[in-house]
Amino acid sequence: MPSIFRYIIKKLLSCLLPGMVLTGVMVPSYAQFKSDDQYGLRLGIDLSRIPVHYFNPYRTDFEIQADARADSDLYIAAEAGWNKTHLNNAPVFEYNSNGYYLKAGVDYNLIKRQFPQEANIVYAGFRYGIARMTSAVPQYQITDPYWGNVNGTFPTKALLPQWGELILGLKAEVLNNLFMGWALHLRILTTQNIGKPVRPYIIPGFGKATKNSVFDMSYTISYRIPLWKPKPKKRKPEKEKKEKSPENKVTTAKEQKEK
């Protein structure tokens, strides 16, 4: 089963990053790069926000990411970013919002490493996010042939939405300390009653708030700053193991009887 899983990951990586030697394809059983025997802080940006703005010019997003390897397969991770949204459908309505967000959680590597220092991972993660934002409707117009037109505004409103997030993704070291990867995100809004009187259209870090759950995809590039070497796990001396083995306990009991 692990070999099939690894084969699928290799194929995905070769499709996403053609021409680069990636996870386990041509890597022997030692560190892929010299610095792989060190843990460190990995910093990156989400490149997928660029096409999001291209296809949806009304919104501008920016996100930075950071993670650090805490254990053999466990990573502490966080993301922070900013969003600005401007919808102008004059004379019907105009909508403005902006704000920033912070997400924190953990990632866990799902595949067995080919060697202890391997830096490539396929991971599942969890985040809890919180955003601080403002939204406003500077003008709107309701047209009715009988009652006539109704014009109005909704003043600026401050919001503090929160959500939980499940992640499945991968990161591959394509150059020394340089990583590329992608991830799938399922976000579920936990804050209630944010739609009074006007529900925000975009929540920074969450996405479209027309529903309480959204799917998203990210594509990242990141750089790891090697900072420290992990402490080697202590192994019990062979003498202690022999003394604690059940065979030795039986022999020592016999010796005591003979005495």
Fold classification of 2-258 is Porin (2.40.160)
Point out the least confidently predicted range of 35-39, 138-142, 191-195, 206-210. 35-39
Report domain extents, the chain: 2-258
Instruction: Look at residue 33 in the predicted model and tell me its pLDDT.
Output: 76
Q: What is the mean predicted confidence (pLDDT) over 174-202?
A: 92
| Number of alpha helices (DSSP H) and beta strands (DSSP E) in the chain | 4, 11
Report, as an integer, the average pLDDT of 63-91.
Answer: 94
- Indicate if the pLDDT at residue 17 is higher than 50: no
- For the stretch 81-126, pLDDT in tens is 999 999 998 888 899 999 999 999 999 999 988 877 788 999 999 9
% the chain with pLDDT above 70: 76
pLDDT at 236: 56
| pLDDT reported for residue 151 | 87
* Burial call 91-121: b when 16+ CB within 10 Å, e when fewer: eebbbbbbbebbbebbbebebeebeebbbbb
- Res 26 pLDDT > 50: no
Mean pLDDT value of segment 56-72: 94
Rounded mean pLDDT, 40-63: 95
Q: Of all helices (H) and strands (E), which one includes residue 2?
A: helix 2-16
Q: How far is CA 5 from the centre of its chain?
A: 21
Strands 59-69 and 74-89: antiparallel
pLDDT tens-place string over residues 123-136: 999 999 999 999 99
Better-predicted residue by pLDDT, 21 or 63: 63
Q: What is the pTM of this model?
A: 0.77
Q: What is the mean pLDDT of residues 42-60?
A: 95
